[in-house]
Amino acid sequence: MAARIIDGKAIAARVREDVARDVAAFSAQTGRRPGLATILVGDDPASAVYVAGKQKAGAEVGIAAFDHRLPADAAEDEVAELIARLNADDDVSGILCQLPVPAHMDGVKLTGMIAPGKDVDGLTPVSAGLLALGREGLRPCTPVGVMLLLTEAGVELEGAEAVVIGRSNLFGKPMAQLLLGANATVTTCHSRTRDLPAVCRRADVLIAAVGRSEMVRGDWVKPGAVVIDVGMNRTEAGLTGDVAFAEVAEVASALTPVPGGVGPMTIACLLRNTFQAATMAAAGRVAA
- Kindly list the residues in this chain that would bind ligand NAP in the complex (CB under 6 A): 142, 165-168, 170-172, 189-193, 196, 209-212, 230-233, 262-263, 266
From the CB of 248, what's the least distance to ligand NAP, in Å?
16
The CA-atom distances, in angstroms, between 116 and each of 68, 111, 264 are 20, 10, 25
The distance of closest approach from Cβ of residue 73 to ligand NAP in the complex, given in angstroms and rounded to an integer, is 27
CA dist., res. 65 & res. 57, Å (int): 10
Residue type, 124: T
Nearest residue (CB) to ligand NAP, 192 versus 246: 192
Which positions are annotated as active-site residues? 54, 98, 121
Least distance from ligand NAP to the Cβ atom of residue 261, Å: 8
Q: How far is the CB of 279 from ligand NAP (least distance, A)?
A: 24
Rg (C-alpha) for the chain, rounded Å, is: 19
The strands making up 94-97's β-sheet, listed across from edge to edge, are 64-70, 35-41, 94-97
Q: Which is nearer to ligand NAP, 69 or 212 (CB)?
A: 212
Q: How far apart are the first and last CA of the chain?
A: 47
Output 47 or 87, the one with its CB closest to ligand NAP: 47
Could you tell me which of 231, 195, 111, 210 has the C-alpha nearest to residue 165?
Answer: 210
Contact 249/255 with Cβ under 8 angstroms? yes
* For ligand NAP, the closer CB: 19 or 280: 19
